[in-house]
């Protein structure tokens, strides 16, 4: 049985990992790819979008928590 807090923590640090831990590999890969794209865009725009990356990580953690709960 998956742990909600662990899923949220995993997904906060590596978006998509919590979703994969919760059993949805496809959603985990999608979240991870989105996070990588956001990171690349943030890097290319001199980190102006780093706040967006933080918001997405928080959402990914929340989503992973809700998936397990």
Residue 46: the pLDDT is 67
Angle separating helix axes 25-44 and 50-68, nearest 10 degrees: 170
Give the position of tokens 């001199």: 46
Cα–Cα distance list, 42 to 27, 37, 52, 63 (Å):
22, 8, 8, 23
Question: Predicted confidence band at 62 (pLDDT cuts at 50, 70, 90)?
Answer: very high
**pLDDT tens-digit map of 4-56:** 999 999 999 999 999 999 999 999 999 999 999 988 887 778 666 678 888 99
- Cα dihedral sign, 21-55-40-37: positive
In contact, 4 and 68? CB cutoff 8 Å: yes
């Amino acid at each position: 049985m998956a742990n909600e807090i662990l899923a949220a923590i995993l997904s906060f640090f590596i978006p998509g990992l919590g979703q994969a831990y919760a059993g949805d590999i496809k959603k985990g890969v999608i979240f991870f790819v989105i996070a990588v794209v956001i990171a690349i865009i943030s890097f290319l725009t001199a980190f102006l979008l780093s706040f967006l990356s933080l918001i997405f990580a928080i959402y990914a953690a929340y989503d992973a928590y809700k998936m397990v709960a």
